Amino acid sequence: MALKNKLLLIVLDGVPYRNWRRLMGNLEGWVQSGDARVWKMRSVLPSTSACCYASMHTGVPPQVHGILANEIRFRVEEPDIFSEVTKAGGVTGAVTHSYWSEFFNRYPFDVVRDIEYDEPGPIAHGRFHTMTNYGHDNQMTPSDTDMFATLTMLTRRFGIDYGILHTVTLDSMGHRFGHDCVQMDNACYYMDSALAAFLPRWLKDGYEVIVTADHGQTDRGHHGGREDEQQDVALYYFGKGRGPEPDALLDQLQLAPTILERLGVPVPASMKAKPFLE
């Protein structure tokens, strides 16, 4: 193994802090048993998906990387987790929405060329979905179990050192139904149980795991602005690194340098936030 450690980042899109702590019984159970730790993390502004994806992976704010809306997309120039892991000799994998391929590999996304690729990097092993024709009444998200299985396949087939999985299921459910409803209770329950089926395998295979969201959502299913409900998410960590006090408020810009440090990859000068794990 080229790197000091290996790590998987699981991003559940659009899950506000309160839903994690109230509804994710498996994740909370592992916190209670001492197997995981949890903190609150605040997203960048705007608390919009594309802006947050780019900041989570580059460690710089939208005002620097320039992804300022879901409609403003290009290949981001700043170094990011994929580019730095590849440079250090590590193998990367992604099972995500196609925006991640556009920001960190090539833009625009060509659905035939880019739907799945295995190449030298920066994203070495990519498996993507576009959610084309997504809308309020037409969710168009893949099954989360299929995506968790795909990530697990990448870990075993290619021995990836760093892998990310990103699913929009809960964000879409929130935009559709809001949060104070039985549909969202059940959606969070099913996500938590789908994840629970895979998490012990990843840990057994030697991965550290971080589970978090890109941003929160209001009860009406909105995000993009400056508000605790729109910006604040939970971050669960399974691994040997030492973290801050339980009531610390993490900054989303800390995520990229923290992951690189856990992997033993040099942190580029553009990532100015302090890692939260040591």
Q: What is the DSSP letter of 252?
A: G
The Cα 67–Cα 70 span in angstroms is 8
- Looking at the Cβ atoms of 70 and 145, the one nearer to Zn ion is 70
Stretch 38-57: interaction string toward Zn ion, x if CB under 5 A: -----------x--------
Does residue 28 bind Zn ion (CB under 5 A)?
no
- Looking at the Cβ atoms of 14 and 90, the one nearer to Zn ion is 14
Does residue 229 bind Zn ion (CB under 5 A)?
no
Does residue 14 bind Zn ion (CB under 5 A)?
yes
Rounded to a whole number of angstroms, the minimum distance from the CB of residue 92 to Zn ion is 21
Which of 28, 78, 84, 214 binds Zn ion (CB under 5 A)? It is 214
The Cα 151–Cα 153 span in angstroms is 5
- Looking at the Cβ atoms of 117 and 134, the one nearer to Zn ion is 134
Secondary structure of residue 118 in the 3-state scheme: strand
Residue whose C-alpha is closest to residue 185's, from 43, 29, 25, 3: 25
Task: Please compute Rg for the chain using Cα positions.
Answer: 17
Question: Alpha helix locations (H) across 24-91?
Answer: 25-32, 49-58, 62-65, 81-87
Residues 156-185 that bind Zn ion (CB under 5 A): 171
- Looking at the Cβ atoms of 14 and 122, the one nearer to Zn ion is 14
Interface residues with Zn ion (CB under 5 A) are 13-14, 49, 171, 214
